[in-house]
Structure 1
Amino acid sequence: MMDDLIKGVPASDLFGRILSSNLAFTGRDLCRLLIERFPAIDGAAVQLVRRWKGVGRADGISDADLNIGIAHFLEEAGYLNNDGSSIKK
């Protein structure tokens, strides 16, 4: 499921699908899944997820900012090339 991020699916789309498919899921659960799948990702990525409007924060960051940030941290950790293609499994 989290592999979709390195296949080009925007984080907001993937996380939104995960949250709508399991109403008991929270931002904390999304963070856990992200870290389990991408252990080398910077902890700041977790903060992005927690601050995203999609997890119920009225004043949270936008979908676009989440998508840009998660892609940046995936690239920085070596999971994506700078053209967005995956390099690490």
Structure 2
Amino acid sequence: MELELAAEELTAVLNRLRRAQGQIAGIVRMIEEGRSCEEVVTQLAAVSRALDRAGFAIIAGGLQQCLAEENGGRPDAREHTRARLEKLFLSLA
């Protein structure tokens, strides 16, 4: 299954990932500077949420695409797609 996101969805996901990339670089600097554990963990939690949101946006787009492609398809194919998508969602939990 190849993922095709709409332009605005793709832009939003890429922006989240770039923001997370910047946050990770900031966390590395914080650790190198000897910043407090609380500050570092707070930033780690923020980047984790940003990555989760990007992942959920990609999965939601994939779900929408899969359902559209398999609408009217065989029940066993739909079940296989549902199981794959469920596994993806659980990998982010």
- Verify same fold: TM over 0.5: no
| Structure showing greater relative contact order (alpha-carbon pairs closer than 8 Å, 6 or more residues apart) | 2
> Which is greater in Rg?
2
TM range (shorter): 0.3 to 0.5
> Normalized against structure 2, the TM-score is what?
0.35
Query: Higher helix share goes to which structure?
Result: 2
Q: Under a length normalisation based on structure 1, what TM-score does the superposition of the two structures give?
A: 0.36
